[in-house]
A and B are shown apart, each in its own frame.
Chain A
Amino acid sequence: MASAAVLAEIKQEMNLETNEPFGKAIWDKKLKEGPGSTPKTKHLYKRCRWAHTAGGLYVDEEIKISLQRARLYTEAHKANAGEISVIQRAKCLEHYLKNCDLYIQDEEILVGVNSARPATLELYPEGGAANMFDYLEDETLCPPELYDEGVEMVEYWKQWSLSAMCERYVDPEDLRVMSSAVTGETPVWTHFYTNCIPPYQSVLEDGLEKRIEWCEKNIKNAKAKLRQYPWNGEENFPLFEKIDNWTAMIISAKAVIGWARRYSRLARIIAEDFDLSDSVSGANQRKKELLEVADICYNVPAKPARGLKDAMQSKWFCYMIVQNIERYSSGYSQLEDDLLWPYYKRSVIDKTGQPMTRAEAIELIECERLKVCERTVTKGRWMRIIHPGINDLHILSIGGLDENGNDMSTDLTDAILEAALNIHTNEPSIAFKYSPKINEKTRRLVYECVSQGYGFPSIKHHERNTKHSIEKHDWPPEVAARWALVLCMAPGATGRYSTQHSRNEGGGGIDGPNQGLLALWDGYDDWFSKSQVGVHTGDASKFTWEELLKAVRTQIENSAQLMFMNKEITSYAEGKRLESPFLAIMDDWNVEEGVGAYERYNKPYTNTWSSYYPGPLAIADDLTAIKYWIFDKKKYTMAQLLEALKANWNGYEEMRQEFLSAPKFGNDDDYADEIARWVFDTSTDVWETVKMLGAPKGVQHIAQSVSAFVTRGPMVGAEPFGRRHGEPTHDGGVSPYMGLDKKGPTAVLKSVSKLPHDRMKGNQLNQRLPVGLMRESEKGFDVWTAYMKTWHDLGIDHVQFNVVRTEDMRAAQKEPEKWDHLIVRIAGYSARFISLSKLAQDSIISRTVQELG
């Protein structure tokens, strides 16, 4: 029985006096009063500049591009022509931070932006022409007066861009295939999308001034070494490059300190010289807040954080630089409760530095969540399309156990969850590192967030993921225990040392369903690109079962090979052309060794992984249906199947129904589950065979979908398990196909548990649970806890839940203006339901509601 004392404590902290089920009381309160725990966050929520996209378009029509960053970067690049690339990059950052416009919005207590004005998008011409033209040629985004200047910039960067460099190493035929989008994600350098984990801890603990001193000392020592007699070329030659790297780090860090102090100056000017009488906090209080902001921005990130306010601001400044200004990078990756706990303790519990109340800390966390929702993100259309309903993949992690198995959750973990309950934003999503050893209060708050229908926290198996990182990445136990998700599903090391810096190390993926289909069509794609995108594996109408499996494996190998080759090419090129010296100075390993942020030779904690997205279960259900009806029952031939698929099942409805009725994954049926196991094992074998730089045990493998299961529907032809061309593909990485899991939640868990979780880095499982039980019943927490115990005992990697009523979603489809607050889980992230395409909405509605208890 759930402890009444725990619930009473939460109710008291959240000022909720009610005898109703807690979830329902929170839901009703929010509908009545609106989100936000204080007048400030209520105001900020109401005026939030949501910056999400839908169908690849920005929902807020006021969002426009700015060329300020592109202009200042281009100026500095030209002015430093001929300079060593890493120093040139540092000087571009410095020039931008000195001259860019800055702004502070009303009521903000956390400041720092990445664009010249609110609701503007800055561009990255150094990425390449495709992404620039994507924005310049979109009349809804590009003010006409900017077009010609933008085109001129593209012309200039043609010879210097990441894409120009990468194209040198790729055969044109391979480039055509990779750009087709059929075999998998198009190259990073066409959609300019990457991801990283900034090692925030170093800056919060040391401050940048100390790190600059460290670089200066390294340069001094290196120069002294050069003067040592007798000359030793072997040892001395590498020092030249190191000196360049340290020099670039120093330029960048000094520029970031100066930029933060520009905010300090601005906050002081607003406080002292402008009318603040319309502030919701009152003029005097607002003046006090702004003067405090001025003090904080003067202190950090130059110096160590004195308390929670400094720590949050320092983290935000670093985030803005690393993932928005120095270059664009997706994610909001951090183990937030672990990272901020020392500062929270100092401010909220011990009151020894920047003292504040718990409620003030929660208000600050709510402000951070809103700030994330306002982040304007410039990324290729490909990525905007597969991220409907959000700005970006913002996912932070909390919870988990330390290397000795102790609960790492703290009062800050609970405060983060309470802030999420208060402010009701879909971003940033939260990943919870689950273990039954974690205290009940924290688990209860996790449950309450889930019951609100946020779809987060998504739940990852703490012990399984930690073990995988120790065994497959060779991370020491204390590092492995402190993982945070890089994006939706992949753990990465956090801390000060050797974190993941680029998508080319970990990220990207190939398409699951198409690997099976290419095997049926001799590598030809007749549905989207109308071209040969796979290898020739022969006429499938004549295949035996064994030959079919072999053809599938060959297609997987070929698509994976293109992906891995492209990742390494891009990694090499970003080191040469697109270094990020500020990211480098944040990482102890880079400073110690004098290497660039994208260096991967001898990197201590590598994180080489990539995905299937959408997941490969489609291959499994396709193969199962083929085996069942063609090779076992012998009712149909391969030639008949190919005819039916070619016709998109039109005219073959009876046959389609039979193929739909074949055994399916997700029903605890060994017939289907063993084939799924073969698909996952085969794929993992392929991934492990690949030896990317710094990955002697092979690349680690993840099955997930983002929202590609809907958006890629038109790129995936008719499938043997009964799906027609254009319809959504398999959702998640290991989720049964919508509506085809008919035997209840335990059968789903049992099927999923038969997959090789121990060999894989992640497997995304989406489940849908009833609102009545989860939000409106007193027994929901106990029933859910029992479900989670089964899930945990079975060693399953991941699970996340939609708790939303079909009738509410149908009502939202009819009257979207009334359902602004409805949030649903898509994949590794949650989105506002009304921002999704009709097809995506329908696919959520079609997910089976699992009855528990």
Chain B
Amino acid sequence: MTCKDCKFFYPVAEGEFDYEQGKGDCVNALQDSKGKYWLVRKAKEDAPSCANFKPNLK
């Protein structure tokens, strides 16, 4: 499985400022001692999935 198959992977549309072929956004909900936050990081479509991977059922 790769990031592309993950529920948290969001492709960036062509024409967007940060569009780059083969890359998208990985969005996760995270929690630390102070509170919750939602983080977006750049992820490669073909990168091997990480421990947070959830299958994309959309």
Footprint of B on A, CB under 8 Å?
A: 47-49, 62, 97-99, 101-106, 117-119, 254-255, 257-259, 261-262, 265-266, 269-270, 273-275, 278
Contact = CB atoms under 8 A, between A and B. Distances in A.
Most chain-A Cβ atoms within 10 A of its Cβ — which of B10, B25, B39, B40? B40
Interface in B23-58: 25, 27, 29-30, 32-42
B34 A258 contact: no
Given A257-B17, A261-B16, A104 B42 contact: no
Contact of B17 (A48, A101, A258): A258
A99 B16 contact: no
A59 to B, nearest CB: 14
Nearest to A60: B34
Contacts of B34: 47-49, 118-119
A102 B39 CA distance: 6
A105 B37 CA distance: 4
The 9 closest A-B pairs by CB, nearest first: A258-B17, A47-B35, A105-B37, A106-B36, A98-B18, A103-B39, A103-B37, A270-B38, A101-B41
Contacts of A101: 39-42
30 contacts: A47-B35, A48-B34, A62-B32, A98-B17, A99-B18, A99-B42, A101-B40, A101-B41, A102-B39, A103-B30, A103-B39, A104-B37, A104-B38, A105-B37, A118-B32, A118-B37, A119-B32, A254-B17, A258-B16, A258-B17, A259-B17, A262-B40, A265-B25, A266-B25, A266-B27, A269-B40, A273-B27, A274-B38, A275-B29, A278-B36
Nearest to A49: B34
A102 B40 CA distance: 5
Given A99-B42, A101-B41, A106-B37, A270 B27 contact: yes
Contacts of A274: 29, 38
Interface residues of B, number: 20
A101 B20 CA distance: 15
Contacts, number: 69
Given A262-B18, A269-B27, A278-B36, 20 more contacts: A47-B35, A48-B34, A62-B32, A101-B41, A102-B39, A102-B40, A103-B37, A103-B40, A105-B37, A106-B36, A118-B34, A119-B34, A255-B17, A261-B16, A262-B40, A265-B40, A266-B40, A269-B10, A269-B25, A275-B29
Contacts of A266: 25, 27, 38, 40
B41 to A, nearest CB: 5
Contacts of B20: 98
B45 to A, nearest CB: 16
Contact of A117 (B25, B29, B33, B39): B39
Nearest to B39: A103
A49 B40 CA distance: 20
A98 B23 CA distance: 12
A117 B20 CA distance: 23
Nearest to B42: A99
B51 to A, nearest CB: 18
Contacts of A106: 35-37
Contacts of B36: 105-106, 278
A255 B33 CA distance: 33
Contacts of B30: 103
A275 B32 CA distance: 17
Most chain-A Cβ atoms within 10 A of its Cβ — which of B32, B34, B42? B34
A665 B32 CA distance: 53
Nearest to A118: B37
A25 B39 CA distance: 41
A97 B32 CA distance: 25
Nearest to B35: A47
Contact of B38 (A103, A254, A262): A103
